[in-house]
Structure 1
Amino acid sequence: MASQDFLVEVGTEELPPKALKQLASALADGITKELEDAQLTFDNSEWFATPRRLAVLITGLVDKQPDRTIERKGPGLKAAFDKSGNPTKAAEGFARSCGVAVSELETLEQGKNAWLVYRSIEPGKETVQLLPEVVDKSVNNLPIPKRMRWGSSREEFVRPVQWLTVLFGSHVVPCSILGVEADRVSYGHRFHHNEPISIESPKSYTRQLNKQGKVIACFIERQQQIKQQVEQQAEAVNCRAVIDEDLLDEVTALVEWPVALTGKFDKAFLEVPAEALISSMKEHQKYFHVVDNAGKLVNYFITVSNIESTHPQTVITGNERVIRPRLADAAFFYETDKKTSLVNRREQLKAIIFQARLGSIYDKTTRISQLAGHIAEQIGGDANQAKRAGELAKSDLVTDMVLEFPELQGIMGRYYAEHDDENPEVAAALDEQYMPRFSGDQVPTTLTGSAVSIADKVDTLVGIFGIGQPPSGTKDPFALRRAALGVLRIVVTNELSLDIKACIEESINAYQAAGVKLDAVESLANTVLDFILERFRAWYQDEGLPVEVFMAVKALRPVQPLDFDQRVKAVEHFRQLPEAEALAAANKRVSNILAKQGDTDIPASVDDGLLVEDAEKTLAKQVAQMTQEVTPLFEHRQYTLALELLAQLKENVDNFFDQVLVNVDDTAVRQNRYALLQQLRDLFLKVADISLLQTS
């Protein structure tokens, strides 16, 4: 079947830069889905995005739908013909509705039943007839949270639409989308070539925009050019550019013809904390900052212009003039903030609500302080330092710098604490309390920072669960999933022996002592614990571990995340052993046998005098020996070695089930065998429920 390339370009006023990639990708996804739904096959799809356009190129799109066989089911044969074989009114009516004679109908048989059917071939439509609806649906289904109208039009889109290019092969597809008639005309760069460009064909689209219009339509290509130019600019001054991926995306979405330029600012501003200068350059001006070989901020910045100026120094001078007052503001905030200590700012936190039912941020710091002290004692830290850091944890929220740059919370707290001559570990903890800030971020390096970070997260989890607002679906306004995962990462990465359930209970007590009424308080600790431990599921799946390994450990509900992790690693190692499958099956069988006993008391120990068969005597002897060998290993959490030893039970367990009937008539012998099986199962349950590795 013949095919041609297909191009859609929606030309607009400047699009929101942070949404550009998502919009372009969604448009491509929408068009490909509509084409697939219409049974229009194609070779490949590619999206393009600049500040003034969203475009999609489909290559090798067939020029016609395939023909379809239509089958209409009519009356059953018994109702369609009388005893003489003549068609009834039902058959004649069905044939008439299909526009054919009864003799042209066919028979459909399914089992013992049969019906009259009418089969016809519906010719496929020409692709060019279907494309207007494909484009219209795709454009109108874009994920646009807030649409706007323009002029006298009733149409709505993310920004006013200026032109529409729709080509199939070398021909324009006649259609009107968002009140704009399709044409082959696109437009070049707003300043370099704001003139019509007649697109010859879909394949020539990017080449023509580049050569004639000074527009790099491909987002990825433009992004790579920006990155390369920025790195070259930094190398030219013997430094290194720090390229933040989010900023790179945003800058790519702001320009159509990128030109990187290097500017300077007054060295005196380097007295201000680097993070504050970087935030000012990034948030306000979209500049990339530059560091020396030691990673220290230097007084250069790199801007990406959307103009290839004949006087680049003029552009640089303009940017240097603009950045100076921005950095001066940051310097002013820093000097002003230092005049009031973090301790003296605590009172201001009473005016900031954490959550209506849970009190103010001041109340939260009081609870964090108490819980952080408790945690520090458990993990070998300094309780007094943890309490102090907890008290000061949120004081920087009311500083001018953090009010201007919220992303500096904690970071500025560290600087201000150092200025206030707080203990260095207390100062570090104010920054570390927010770690890990995102997936893959570092965790606190100090015990005080770990204690405060865990306390802050547990306080939030307990409070929000305690007022009945757990996450649901994709909604997680308090970022509870991230908080729970953060707790696990801190504990496991820093190898902290911490009873997380005890922390949760301590947090509940702190809320109640402050007069906060929590819902379902009897089950709250277990609810929060389960929620935290459940975050391990995705963690281990990302590491490639089967979910059965996680479930086997979770069945025991270990309250220490580090202990949980050590058990998981041991079970995963055990799963690789040749004996694992048979022992998992045996554990499953034992579990089922014991479960059927219900409330029947099983003896606490095995009576050697009631052992009859050689196989059960041998197994009982080995279980007793293994119990002595692995008990010290369990006490020292050497779970991997313990399970390796328990794997040696396989042969005798197999022999037991092959040669011994458990449910014999003799009650004493039967109960004794139950006791042996219980001891066997309890050995494995010291680590995990191995029976859950048996997947049917």
Structure 2
Amino acid sequence: MTTENLLIEIGTEELPPKSLRTLAEAFAANIKTELTALELENTDVTWYASPRRLGIKVANLVARQADKIVEKRGPAVKAAFDTDGNATKAAQGWARGCGIDVADAERYETEKGAWLLHKAKVAGKGVDALLPDAISKALAKLPISKPMRWGNSKIQFIRPVHTVTVMFGSNLIQGNILGKDIKNELQGHRFHHPERVSISHADEVESVLKSAYVIADYEERKALVRGQIESVAAKNNAVVAMDEALLEEVTSLVEWPVTLVATFEASFLDVPSEALIYTMKDDQKYFPLLDQDGNLLNKFLFVSNIESKNPEQVIKGNEKVVRPRLADAQFFFETDKKYTLESRLESLDTVLFQKQLGTLKDKSIRISELAAFIATKLGADETKAARAGLLSKTDLMTEMVMEFTDVQGVMGMHYARFDGEDELVAVAQNEQYMPRFSGDNLPSNEISQAVALADKFDSLVGIFGIGQAPKGDKDPFALRRAAIGALRIMVEKELELDILEIVAKSQELFTDKLTNENVAQDVFDFMLGRFRAWYQDQNIAVDVIQAVLARRPSYPVDFDRRVKAVSHFRSLDSAEALAAANKRVGNILAKNDLVIANKIDETLLSEDAEKALAETVLSFKAKFEQLGQGSYTNKLTQLADIRETVDTFFDNVMVMSDDEAVKLNRLALLNQLRNLFLDIADISVLQ
């Protein structure tokens, strides 16, 4: 069948840059779904996007659907004819609907009887008839939270639409989409090529747009921006403070990128670099430059959407724009330094953390006490932890943080140093929020770790304690992130801390504010659930996680050791057989509601197989008691050697002996065997 490449482009006003990739990917996925539903075969669906267009390319799309035979089953033969052999009304109505006479119907024979059957050949439709509706459906399903209407039209889309282009090879598909007739015209660059350009074939889209100063391919444009930035930085003997999210956003803002370098007054460098960098990146979409030692320079890069004949004027314009923002940061910094962090503690009493849980000052006092408690468990300085916790939210009341919210914590660190606070206390002001996102760094020292954990557990216990646990995708207090962050700190920093113990202390600090009597269990269950999600992201098998979850370890670092041990054990040859044996033992014990002794009576052992198993079990039990807690991988690896002894036991020994004493002793033996594994995990759940 004939195939051609398909081009679809929707030309619009400037699209939201932070949504551009999401919209384009969703458009491609939706088109693929629609083509599949229409049985229009193709080899690939790809997307391109720029500020003023969403584009789709479909490779080797068939020109029309394949013809197919459609079977329409009618009434059963018994119901289709009366006793005289005449067609009933049901049969006549069915045949009329099929466009045939009853006599022309075929028979469909099954074990349950026969039915009338009509096979009709349905001719496939061409893409020219199918595509406009399919594209409209794909566009209607885009993730657009706030669609717009323009002019006097009732049509809605994320931005006003100017052009719709659908080319099947060299053929223009006719139709109307989003209120626009389909034409072979594309928008050029808004400034360099404001007039539209014609396209005669789907394959020409990149070259045609490039002639109109538009680099259509998103990844090509992103690579070009990255290359320009790195090249200009190198020419200035500098390193660019690369930010992948910013690079993505800038790529979505320009169609013809041109990177230039600008400067600002060196006096601004007296302000903490984080505040300046935030201002340049977030407000202006600039890329700050650093020297080879990582210090901020009074230079920055910006990506223009025009290739100016007079770039000096463009540079001056951007320098003029950034100066007031940097001046604001400088003013806020100088103003904030007039007051210590400690002096701002009382002002936290004017800000509500949560109506039932009190103010930010209340939270700070709780964090202080909980951080001190955690510090003692870590053998760290509880006085410094308490001090760091007490000051932890004070920078929220500074002018700088009120204006630039993303520098919370880091400004607290700078102000604490300016106030003469201990360095560990100062660093904790910043590191209390770590990890801020997936893969972020963790607090570097025990004081910071104590404060970070205290902050996260205070939120978890408090919000769960008033019955406002996250539901569905609603998590206004970011408790999922807090739980994952706390687990990461305890596991990756190998902190021997007990979740239940920290929760109990936190619960105590809330006094009578909490209303949920099951808060400790609810928080513990929630964190165990986060463990499951976390390990699945690391490609740990679900049954391995379930095996450890069954034992509900409350020390995260201990949980992690068990997961790693079971994951290793699962790869051994004996794992499957021993998992099945454990499941069998568990079923036997569950079916016998009997009091099982804690010890094995060796005088009741009669069969060689049970004597061998008892000897092995007792030997492992003694050996493991000497090893103590931990060493899980070593223990499970050794237990893998027990497989043959267990198999022999089940092959040769009747557990449910007629002799009650012998039966109970064999159950005690199996119970001790199972407990060797249960001390680590429930391996019976392994698949």
TM-score, normalised to structure 2, is 0.97
Q: Which residue of 2 aligns with 1:171?
A: 171
Q: Does 1:344 align with 2:323?
A: no
Which region of structure 1 is more displaced relative to structure 2, 79-88 or 267-276? 79-88
* Preserved contact between residue 348 and residue 361 of structure 2 (Cα < 8 Å): yes
Q: Give the Cα separation in 2 of the matches to 1:648 and 1:639.
A: 15
Q: After TM superposition, list the pairs within 5 Å mapping 1:391-430 onto structure 2.
A: 391-430=390-429
Which SS does the other structure have where 1:226 is aligned? helix
Residue 535 of structure 1: which of 530, 533, 546 is its match? 530
Which SS does the other structure have where 1:437 is aligned? coil
Residue 581 of structure 2: which of 561, 583, 586 is its match? 586
Q: Does 1:230 align with 2:229?
A: yes
Q: Which residue of 2 aligns with 1:681?
A: 674
| Residue identity opposite 2:635 in structure 1 | A
Q: Extract unaligned runs of 5+ from structure 2.
A: none
Which SS does the other structure have where 1:589 is aligned? helix
| Residue identity opposite 2:673 in structure 1 | L
| Residue identity opposite 1:516 in structure 2 | K
Report the CA distance between 1:130 and its aligned residue: 1.2
Q: Does 1:618 align with 2:615?
A: no
Provide closer, same or farther for how the CA distance between residues 465 and 86 of structure 1 changes in structure 2, counting only shifts above 3 A: same
Q: Give the Cα separation in 2 of the matches to 1:87 and 1:182.
A: 51
Q: Give the Cα separation in 2 of the matches to 1:369 and 1:316.
A: 49
Q: Give the Cα separation in 2 of the matches to 1:125 and 1:546.
A: 46
Q: Which residue of 1 aligns with 2:98?
A: 98
Q: Does 1:34 align with 2:34?
A: yes
Q: Give the Cα separation in 1 of the matches to 2:371 and 2:394.
A: 16
* Preserved contact between residue 633 and residue 639 of structure 1 (Cα < 8 Å): no
Q: Give the Cα separation in 2 of the matches to 1:202 and 1:375.
A: 64
Q: Which residue of 1 aligns with 2:560?
A: 565
| Residue identity opposite 1:685 in structure 2 | L
Cα deviation, 1:528-561, whole Å, max 9, x if unaligned, reads 1121122222332233321121111111111100
Q: Give the Cα separation in 1 of the matches to 2:535 and 2:150.
A: 51
* Preserved contact between residue 633 and residue 641 of structure 1 (Cα < 8 Å): no
Report the CA distance between 1:398 and its aligned residue: 1.4
| Residue identity opposite 1:261 in structure 2 | L
Which region of structure 1 is more displaced relative to structure 2, 88-97 or 681-690? 88-97
Q: Does 1:160 align with 2:160?
A: yes
Q: After TM superposition, list the pairs within 5 Å mapping 1:119-158 onto structure 2.
A: 119-158=119-158
Q: Give the Cα separation in 2 of the matches to 1:647 and 1:352.
A: 58
Aligned-pair RMSD on alpha carbons? 1.6
Q: Give the Cα separation in 1 of the matches to 2:284 and 2:90.
A: 77
Q: Give the Cα separation in 1 of the matches to 2:155 and 2:176.
A: 11
Q: After TM superposition, list the pairs within 5 Å mapping 1:368-447 onto structure 2.
A: 368-447=367-446
* Preserved contact between residue 462 and residue 514 of structure 2 (Cα < 8 Å): no
Cα deviation, 1:97-155, whole Å, max 9, x if unaligned, reads 32212221111122222111122111111210111111222222221111222222222
Q: Give the Cα separation in 1 of the matches to 2:365 and 2:7.
A: 61
Q: Which residue of 2 aligns with 1:639?
A: 632
* Preserved contact between residue 259 and residue 303 of structure 2 (Cα < 8 Å): yes
Q: Extract unaligned runs of 5+ from structure 1.
A: none
| Residue identity opposite 2:91 in structure 1 | A
* Preserved contact between residue 396 and residue 408 of structure 2 (Cα < 8 Å): yes
Report the CA distance between 1:417 and its aligned residue: 0.7
| Residue identity opposite 2:670 in structure 1 | L
Q: Give the Cα separation in 1 of the matches to 2:431 and 2:617.
A: 48
Q: Does 1:470 align with 2:469?
A: yes
* Preserved contact between residue 533 and residue 561 of structure 1 (Cα < 8 Å): no
Q: Which residue of 2 aligns with 1:660?
A: 653
* Preserved contact between residue 290 and residue 298 of structure 1 (Cα < 8 Å): yes
| Residue identity opposite 2:393 in structure 1 | K
Q: Give the Cα separation in 2 of the matches to 1:556 and 1:188.
A: 63
Which SS does the other structure have where 1:436 is aligned? coil
Cα deviation, 1:550-608, whole Å, max 9, x if unaligned, reads 1111111111000111111122222233332222222211111111122x211121122
Q: Which residue of 2 aligns with 1:574?
A: 569
Q: Does 1:629 align with 2:623?
A: yes
* Preserved contact between residue 209 and residue 216 of structure 2 (Cα < 8 Å): yes
Which SS does the other structure have where 2:579 is aligned? helix
Q: Give the Cα separation in 1 of the matches to 2:56 and 2:321.
A: 37
TM-score, normalised to structure 1, is 0.96
Q: Which residue of 2 aligns with 1:71?
A: 71
| Residue identity opposite 1:578 in structure 2 | D
Q: Give the Cα separation in 1 of the matches to 2:205 and 2:684.
A: 61
Report the CA distance between 1:662 and its aligned residue: 0.9
* Preserved contact between residue 490 and residue 497 of structure 2 (Cα < 8 Å): yes
* Preserved contact between residue 630 and residue 645 of structure 1 (Cα < 8 Å): no
Q: After TM superposition, list the pairs within 5 Å mapping 1:275-314 onto structure 2.
A: 275-314=274-313
